[in-house]
Structure 1
Amino acid sequence: MAELTALESLIEMGFPKGRAEKALALTGNQGIEAAMDWMLELVAQKQREREEGEEREALERERQRRRQGQELTAARQRLQEDEMRRAAEERRREKAEELEARQRVREKIERDKAERAKKYGGNVGSQPSPPATEPGPVPSSPSREPPTKREYDQCRIQVRLPDGTSLTQTFRAREQLAAVRLYVELHRGEELGGAQDPVQLLSGFPRRAFSEADMERPLQELGLVPSAVLIVAKKCPG
């Protein structure tokens, strides 16, 4: 097998043919190693040039950024100065208007004084003041009497029957408890055993069974006014 030439060896290594020929020519055909050194140096040089170019571009971008920042800062400063100048002019204008308004008020006061002096002949403020009236005695408020306890004339009684129903009737406060028992005996149902069986009345709370003596007492005296709830129970004979 024939030995490869230097050019063929460089091409086989992956170098472009044109670059390999140029490298061999510039190195005086001193061999593969010299041509490779030249091409590698060329690649490194291009890499350095590219990096230097990128660095220059980065520096230029930074300069532009700083220049734009300075321009923006200057624009903001000019805007603030313009606003401060307008605010100062506005304050001066308001102060001048305030001074003019005060001057007009003083002039009006002087004109009013002159007119009053002319009208009253120079005796402004000499009019007699009306005599002061002495305060009269303060009427005493009537004493408030303590509220009196309300008197009820009627009493509303609800009677609960053993079957769960109830009767409601209004009685006079001075009626006796016997009137309530009579009303229950006349209006109760057959569940209680008919009208012949007597009934007993109980108070719900506090629990109390009314005796025959209580039947002669008025509802008002028994504390059933103005309203009360009574319970009906069968009265045991004897």
Structure 2
Amino acid sequence: MMECTALESLIEMGFPQNRAEKALALTGNQGIEPAMDWLMEHENDPDLDDPYVPPQGHVPSTEEPPEGRTPEAVQGGTEPTLEELAEVDNRHTLSEEEKREQTKRMMELISQKQREREEREKRESIEREKQRRKQGQELSLIRQKLQEDEMKKLAEERRKEKMEEKLAKQRVREKIERDKAERAKKFGGGCSSSSQASNPPEPVAPTLVPSSPSQEPPVKREYDQCRIQVRLLDGTSLTQTFRAKEQLAAVRLYVELNRQDGGEEPFNLLTSFPRRVFTEEDMEKPLQELGLVPSAVLIVAKKGNS
């Protein structure tokens, strides 16, 4: 029968008997090619090697078609042609050469199916990478917008501080002028020139004037942002502003998304002076703790060449 020939061909190609029988049965015994397609699609099924069990209530027909007639001819109710009879005879009497040719064709079919699957998986991988890069770019734009808003807010705060400092200096100057006028009025009249000569005025203790903000000792300032410059492998550099409390991993992610030096392999970040190579543990630490605030220069180096 045709099914036996297909089963033998699949077994000769290296498929286990359970798989071959199951593939032929579940494809309706339509031949080797449908069975091959089914095997390629279900090669990762956990129960692929389990023996095939026909559905309950299904009794396969054991009735043989009349001699000289194909099953298709019996179902269709027509007499088989000479070509059909010859085809049936050829199916039952395949020579070794024909079996080898059939096996060769099936192996080529297997290779073609595998190439098609690899191409499909490659396209899907490329599409996933495109989606990942798109999401990374969107995330970068959102982060850049937040940083711009933070910079605007910081600039506005600095402008207000300068304005307050200017007003404070103005108030100090006005007070000095008032004190001068009061001293001139106090010592300018009420006594003759002779009495002033004989009794020189006692020295007046200088009026304490609050010092201007510029004269106050400098106060250590807490920075909430830092500017990072990253030198790439080809000599170019990237510059970006980060929050002082952001982790060093944010700088590494920024470099991965924006580097144009053609490097795809993993890399290390390091400083030249004092020389320090940042580890994976350092990636979880904030920039402020690593001493990179208010500004720093980092260098990209291939792993293993640090």
Do they superpose with TM above 0.5? no
The structure that has the greater radius of gyration is 1
Shorter-normalised TM-score: what interval?
0.3 to 0.5
